[in-house]
């Protein structure tokens, strides 16, 4: 029986999830021995996975002091959102000239099929998964795998904040999550019309609007990570 997935892969996936969810608190030092026991692997594969995550920006590393969780500051989150604008606007622009009519129609169709679920969803996790899925699909239309790769990385590091943000909005709106699908639709319409200026402008304002909210979300996330801790 062939073993398909290596230990390092398994450990890496687990760690990425933990890091994305801030299972490690910002700037917290990571104890390799303890973690290797939890994950059921020795320190060798664990460190290999940790090194990947350092290169991806999920963790940091200091010589002879080991691995640390990435910090969580407003400016750090700001940087990630701005990088998303860069990547996604260019992906949108490329999609305008490069995506086939069929692929654009498929994305519009995806949006339509998702709309009922999106409007009625109250679970922030589900909502975020749908939103990320839309943006990832759009990036696919660019045909550029680097942009897709970078976006995936940025989203992983932003995800926790977005989740906090969505929860905040849900609580404000009384259990109702914000089904803001209109912005997505506007972007797709711009692409369908092959109107790069309109499409990128829509994308830019969409992400920047989210970014505004994120600053407040960072403050909340900060308090959630440091204060309560059951």
What are the structure tokens assigned to 143, written together?
A: 């045909």
Residue listed under structure tokens 């750090």 = 76
Query: How far is C-alpha 135 from the chain's CA centre?
Result: 10
Instruction: Find which of a copy of itself, DNA, none residue 27 binds, CB within 5 to 8 Å per kind.
Output: none
Select from 63, 101, 227, 229 the one that contacts a copy of itself (CB under 8 A).
63
Binding status of residue 9 toward a copy of itself by CB under 8 A: yes
Q: Is 22 in the site for DNA (CB under 7 A)?
A: no
Question: CB-based burial of residue 210 (10 Å sphere; 0-12 exposed, 13-18 middle, 19+ buried)?
Answer: buried
| Element at 184 (helix H, strand E) | helix 182-192
Helix (H, G, I), strand (E, B) or coil at 73: coil
Applying CB under 8 A, what is the total number of residues that bind a copy of itself? 39
Distance CA 141, CA 169 (A): 30
SS3 114: helix
Query: How many helices (DSSP H) and strands (DSSP E) are in the chain?
Result: 9, 3
In this structure, what are the phi and psi dihedrals at residue 61, rounded to the nearest 5 degrees? Answer: -145, 135
Interface with DNA, residue 7, by CB under 7 A: yes
Give the shortest CB-197-to-a copy of itself separation in angstroms. 11
Structure tokens at 152: 């995936």
Q: Which of residues 170-229 bind a copy of itself (CB under 8 A)?
A: none
Mask for 103-142, x = binds a copy of itself (CB under 8 A): ---------------------------------------x
Q: Binder to DNA among 18, 41, 207, 217 (CB under 7 A)?
A: 41
Q: Which of residues 55-74 bind DNA (CB under 7 A)?
A: 63-67
Q: Which of 19, 30, 49, 107 binds a copy of itself (CB under 8 A)?
A: 49
Instruction: Return d(Cα 141, Cα 159) in angstroms, integer.
Output: 22
From the number of C-beta atoms within 10 Å of its C-beta (0-12, 13-18, 19+), residue 132 rates as middle
Provide the mask over 79-108, with x wherever binding to a copy of itself is found by CB under 8 A and - wherever it is not: xx-xx-xxx-xxx--x--------------
Contacts with DNA by CB under 7 A lie at 1-3, 6-8, 29-34, 41-45, 47, 63-67
Contacts with a copy of itself by CB under 8 A lie at 3-6, 8-9, 44, 47-49, 51-57, 63-64, 78-80, 82-83, 85-87, 89-91, 94, 142, 144-147, 149-150, 154
């Amino acid at each position: 029986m062939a073993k398909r997935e290596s230990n390092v892969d398994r450990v890496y996936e687990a760690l990425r999830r933990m890091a994305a969810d801030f299972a490690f608190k910002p700037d917290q030092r990571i104890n390799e021995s303890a973690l290797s026991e939890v994950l059921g692997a020795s320190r060798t594969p664990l460190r290999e996975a940790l090194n990947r995550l350092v290169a991806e920006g999920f963790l940091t590393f200091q010589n002879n002091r080991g691995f640390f969780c990435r910090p969580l500051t407003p400016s750090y989150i700001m940087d990630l959102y701005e990088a998303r604008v860069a990547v996604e606007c260019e992906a949108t622009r490329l999609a305008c000239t490069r995506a086939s009519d069929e692929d654009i129609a498929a994305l519009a169709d995806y949006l339509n099929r998702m709309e009922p679920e999106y409007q009625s969803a109250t679970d922030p996790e589900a909502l975020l998964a749908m939103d990320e899925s839309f943006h990832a699909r759009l990036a696919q239309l660019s045909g550029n795998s680097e942009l897709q790769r970078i976006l995936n990385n940025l989203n992983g590091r932003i995800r926790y904040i977005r989740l906090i943000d969505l929860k905040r909005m849900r609580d404000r709106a009384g259990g109702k999550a914000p089904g803001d699908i209109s912005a997505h639709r506007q972007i797709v319409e711009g692409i369908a019309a092959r109107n790069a200026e309109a499409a990128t402008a829509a994308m830019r304002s969409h992400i920047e609007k989210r970014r505004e909210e994120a600053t407040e979300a960072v403050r909340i996330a900060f308090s959630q990570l440091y204060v309560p801790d059951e």
